[in-house]
Structure 1
Amino acid sequence: MRASRLLSILLLLQTRGRMTARELAERLEVSVRTIYRDVESLHAAGVPLYGDAGPSGGYQLLEGYRTRLTGLTADEAESMFLAGLPGPAAELGLGSVVAAAQLKLKAALPVELRDRAERVQERFHLDAPSWYRERDELPFLPAVADAVWNQRVIEVRYRRWEAPHLVTRRLEPYGLVVKAGRWYVVAGSGGQVRTYRVWMIQDLHPLDEHFTRPADFDLAGYWRGYLTAFAARLHQGEAVVRLSPRGLERLGSLITPGMETAARESAGEPDADGWVTAVVPIEGVDVALGEFLRLGGEVEVVRPVELRRRLAEVAAALTRFYGEERVSATSSASGGRFG
């Protein structure tokens, strides 16, 4: 554990430059006294590390010093070759850059770690986008990424779901997120932090001004909060349903998040046919109607009554269209052309 921490200090100073003992302690979740002892150990090992006192002081490596990557564990080396998703990197225009970086990393690894890394690439392929949808066309993604990196203000024409459908927005882009193969830009706009889907940007103009990214903005933390709030907005009600074993398995394919988990947690004992009664979240009657229709005869809605009534109406209409009498009449009227 201590050897790993010493290597972490070395790599942090190599990549971040000057850091105080307190900054190192907070980053590595140890005491400042522990950092002092670790620095002494690095000195004793011959690492060209020096420290300056005072408010602007801190520890720093001698300029030009670089460590080799021989401190990587086998698991760490393998994870590096799972981290660079080829799809998102290519969409950002960085596909060749990621490939070159992995090649250089592989060349720097000891032979035994290089072999394990190559096996990872041979045996694991990560495909982030979901099934049954085409990849988004993203002509403005590189420009958004450039604005994020250079803290440049952009003006976009954006298509929304609600009216007015086309709006113009001035954005200060703080970061990019890829979720299930879809890109989102998190940006300051009108004094608030908002989320925009990059695919829905219709036009983009970089402006001749820059912004200061909030020092305390945490992209990962913001995204976790955004997903929690998004799920809360979706869960506007609940439905009591009876599910067959197959219906329970298929809940995970529906749009409303958490439906399968909620069903399994609330499900009672299976009846003689394996059906269970459960309580699941729904976004609303209209959305739930379409979702439960996808399960066909594998689900029965008990409540709310309005949703049950709407499903019964759709089932009755389908019976009128596809009932045996109508099929026979349609076949006769067409002169048997389809038989």
Structure 2
Amino acid sequence: MKILIEAKALKLSVSRLQGALVDKSFAQIGLLATNKNLCFFAADRVLAIYSTSECDSLQEGRVFVPAKIFTDVVREVPQGGKVSLEEDGAFLKLSVKEGSTFTMKTPTTKDAHWQDLPSLDDKCEQMVLPTHLLSYMLSQTVFCITEESPRAYGTVGFLHKLKSGQLCLVGTDGFRLSQSSMNFDVPGESLSKGICLSKRALSELLRMCNEDAEEITISVSGDRTRLIAETKNYQAYILLSAVKYPRYQSVLPKKQEYSAPVPRVVLQGAIKRVLLASDKTGALQINLQKEAMILSSKTLGSTEGREKITLSGYNGSNRSLAVKGKFLADIFSNTAGETVQMSFGTEDEPVSFYPQDEPEGCLSKHILVPIKETE
């Protein structure tokens, strides 16, 4: 194999592979040079990523290189100019001539197997989504999904079709829940029962959406075990989780009598400051008054934080509740716009937060379970 490739294109393709390189010490990156393209490939047990870049192919070929050293070298390649990749015996030689001449040889692996992008079954269902809307849905839910959880459903997001026909994504860890939907006519029946995607899979979809493509194609196999996401020159093959997602609709608050519009940016900063005084529970006390919201936290010792925020539009009487401060901070860090609507019933019932400035066709809600503070 011998090719010339733009440094910018090389860096982009290698950066796309990061989602499949959890353990770089043992992972391999495959490179396949054809007539005018260089295809990059990396995979683990649940995720395979393919990225294709244009190149000047002087000699076609296929090699595998250790992921860690290759990604480290590519990261340091100067921007601009072209990079030469040439198979040299048992090594892949990378050369850059940009001001000075840099050369690095990395060992190749001969017994690695190249896997073309798998195809799905004949019953697969496909949908083409606007990337900016899917990206927004993902940003509203991924933050409350964890890599590890005693509750299996806490490690996955649930993508499904609502009865109203909207596409909906939900994430929860048992203490908080985030739901985001978009107006989209979901084809077929695969998403009527829903599919579960790991946080890594969701993060990969978010990475794909945050590039320049306006649309992303999502294909789901008929047995709901595999998914392929595609944009131009960028594909991800994902094994779906077998976790059975709970009927989360039963825990959504049905009626919440009290509400107040809260300034997002102001409250975000206040939460960060007040939590400096919190103990290991991270509890944040919220006291609502007719024209003010008071945030407070304290340790078992003498440290105490308190901040008063001007409030308008609150329709209830003086009330007090406590929530996990980090969870509330996550909501206000990931929502957009100037105002978030806060709604609740009694002190023991879940608290809901509704972003007021969302992309057209999107609707999100965030639910927190209050905690009981010890005196």
- TM-score when scaled to structure 1? 0.25
Larger RCO (alpha carbons 8 Å, 6+ apart): 2
Specify which structure has the higher proportion of helix.
Answer: 1
Structure possessing the higher radius of gyration over alpha carbons: 1
- TM-score when scaled to structure 2? 0.23
